[in-house]
Amino acid sequence: MGIYLAVAIVTAIFSELSVKSRNKTIRRLSILAAIIVPSFLYAVRYGIGTDYFSYASAFNRLQLIGFEGRFEWAYVLLNIIVGRLGGSLELLFLIIAIIMFLFLYLSLKEYSNSISVGIGMLAYMLLFYQMSFNMVRHSVAMVVCLYSIKYIHEKRPLKFLMLVLLATGFHNSAIILIPAYIVSKQLSEGKRKISRLLIFTISTIGVLSIDSLITPILKSIHQLNYYLFYIQNETGEFTFNYLIRHAPFVLVGIFLIKYIKRDDTRYIFLFSLYIMSLILKLSGLVGAQYINRISLNYEIVLVLIVAYFIKYFNKSRHVFASFAIICYLLIYWYYIYIYTISHGTYPYKSIFGL
């Protein structure tokens, strides 16, 4: 347990130093450390992550057969290049982690005038880092999606689409971000409350009807038959628990929206994406328990939102509120990854036998 917490804190400290230090050398070294420290832990693990051995098996198989339809093009290409150059599974994981943390860091730095980069990194480490040990491909797609939001703000569709294409190269679910660009105006302008409510309502109806809408399409297109696996008749208990765990973030986010938007209007759009992630999660109620994973491509904005919370509370001298949020993140992390051993990351084991 201690190693995860220690790496989270160290990574957060270096991330903050990278933007706060006045010394250029320290800033550069801090960026390097913020990326390498968590990436090294990610790379040298052994048997950590529920699908660890599936990824190991795929790495060996892809060296023999080359491209296959099960995995996305960028992930397969990376596997093949590493293997052909004589690299190991650990090198593959290291490269993937570096890509992941590079995009994550760039995403946080983009908002550095409005948030604490260190707090944003800490939020990622506590909420998503250990998840990434299991959901390797999806986790890379999530942070690329997070960075692509920069181009939604800037209204640069070509660069946005190029990044989404790169994200789909690791996980096809990243395509879900494209509608966010289409309705970005409605989701980002403070005066369009009715428009946002209408979008949330239509999205909720669509998600709850996902089985009747999507199943016929998957059945009619042979190439998409594989995805019928993800339409399952499962209970929605996990969905409700998930929403309950997110209630504090939602309540605080709604309360602060009128204050934070005065300093940074981008917050409205980010919080709207977070609400959309919770709506997408409702797919678990209608027997699409696995489809609700696409919500993570929106939910990743939570690392920015938490950082907005802390920055506002510190600025307004509500230090106790900041402390409460950090405590909640720690409780969330402990319950999900340590107590329930979600994603199979605890206890940590490395290739060095430690």
pLDDT digits (tens, 9 = 90+) for 137-179: 999 999 999 999 999 999 999 999 999 999 999 998 899 999 9
pLDDT score for 354: 65
Burial class (CB in 10 A: 0-12, 13-18, 19+), 222: exposed
pLDDT digits (tens, 9 = 90+) for 58-95: 999 988 887 766 788 999 999 999 999 999 999 999 99
pLDDT digits (tens, 9 = 90+) for 337-351: 999 998 999 999 999
pLDDT digits (tens, 9 = 90+) for 253-303: 999 998 998 888 999 999 999 999 998 888 766 655 555 678 899 999 999
Under the banding of pLDDT at 50, 70 and 90, the label for residue 245 is: confident
| Residue 49, SS3 per DSSP | coil
Burial class (CB in 10 A: 0-12, 13-18, 19+), 235: exposed
CA distance 104 to 118: 12
Under the banding of pLDDT at 50, 70 and 90, the label for residue 241 is: low
pLDDT digits (tens, 9 = 90+) for 246-255: 899 999 999 9
Cβ proximity of 151 and 163 under 8 Å? yes
- This prediction has a pTM of 0.91
